[in-house]
């Protein structure tokens, strides 16, 4: 199977119907960017795909098993340094071999790497979370607004790092910026109309 197929996904929180029969086909081995206004269910969709939440109904097929993610929040172990945070998710020591090189590639210095994560700036923490997601060697990587808190120069550095390290991998990224979609070279899955336009609700969401 070469794609993830999402059929009729429903998810509500009380009276708030976040996903109403969402359909989409996401290609494997490519970068897909999900865009749409706040509250349209982008993160909910990502959480369902990650297995963190259950859909009320609907079907998802073709989803790879080994997953990694950059969450909306960094979700790092704050008392430990960057290397220890990456060691935490390594199944074996193989992914530790070039950890230092990966962290340097996203612009972190040796000093940044040796400090407990709680002492790092928001942007530095974000980069540790991104490297952690890459080094998990997963089949699919979920990125929820991964460049939040990064300045333009660092964002470009991290985008290039991600493009290099995720070649032929399935990446699903939630973003608010069309510029980021273009820079990372991903296909666009626009969620803008599907929840408000009744015709679009049951229509398969096309990737542009």
Partner 1 sequence: MKNKVNLEKIAAVALALGVWQFGAMALDKSILLVSPLDVAALLTKLVGEIEFWQTVGYSFSRITAGFALGLLSGTIFAVTAHRLPIFEILLWPFIAAIKATPVASFIILCLIWLNSSALSIIISFLMVLPIVYTNMLQGLKSTDFKLLQMADLFKASWPRKLIYIFLPQLKPYLLSACSVSLGMSWKAGVAAEVIGIPDGSIGEMLYEAKIYLSSADLFAWTVVIVIISIIFEKLFNHLLKSAFNRLERI
Binding site for partner 1 (CB under 8 A): 50-52, 66-69, 71, 73, 75, 77-80, 84-85, 88-89, 91, 116, 136
Minimum CB separation of residue 79 from partner 1 in Å reads 4
**3-class SS at 80?**
coil
**Which CB sits closer to partner 1, 4 or 207?**
4
Minimum CB separation of residue 91 from partner 1 in Å reads 7
Q: What's the Rg (C-alpha) of the chain? A: 17
- The contacts of residue 100 (CB under 8 Å, 6+ apart) are 83, 110, 113
Minimum CB separation of residue 80 from partner 1 in Å reads 6
**Which CB sits closer to partner 1, 40 or 71?**
71
- Say how far residue 173 (Cα) sits from the centre of its chain: 4
The stretches of 76-143 forming alpha helices (DSSP H) are: 82-89, 99-105, 110-114, 122-135
**What 8-state DSSP symbol labels residue 145?**
S
Minimum CB separation of residue 118 from partner 1 in Å reads 10
**Which CB sits closer to partner 1, 99 or 205?**
99
**Which CB sits closer to partner 1, 84 or 178?**
84
């Amino acid at each position: 199977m070469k794609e993830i197929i999402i059929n009729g996904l429903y998810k509500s929180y009380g009276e708030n119907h976040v996903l109403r029969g969402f359909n989409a086909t996401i290609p494997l081995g490519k970068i897909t960017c999900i865009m749409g206004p706040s509250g349209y269910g982008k993160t909910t969709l990502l959480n369902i795909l990650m297995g963190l939440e259950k859909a009320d109904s609907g079907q998802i097929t073709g989803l790879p098993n080994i997953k990694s993610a950059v969450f909306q929040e960094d979700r790092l172990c704050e008392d430990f340094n960057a290397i220890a945070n990456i060691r935490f998710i390594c199944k074996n020591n193989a992914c530790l071999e070039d950890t230092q090189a990966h962290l340097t590639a996203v612009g972190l210095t040796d000093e940044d790497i040796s400090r407990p994560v709680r002492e790092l700036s928001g942007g530095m923490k974000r980069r540790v979370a991104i490297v952690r997601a890459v080094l998990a060697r997963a089949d699919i990587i979920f990125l929820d607004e991964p460049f939040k808190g990064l300045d333009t120069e660092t964002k470009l550095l991290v985008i290039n790092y991600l493009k290099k390290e995720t070649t032929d991998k399935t990446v699903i990224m939630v973003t608010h910026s069309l510029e980021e979609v273009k820079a990372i070279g991903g296909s666009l899955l626009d969620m803008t109309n599907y929840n408000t336009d009744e015709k679009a609700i049951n229509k398969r969401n096309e990737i542009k």
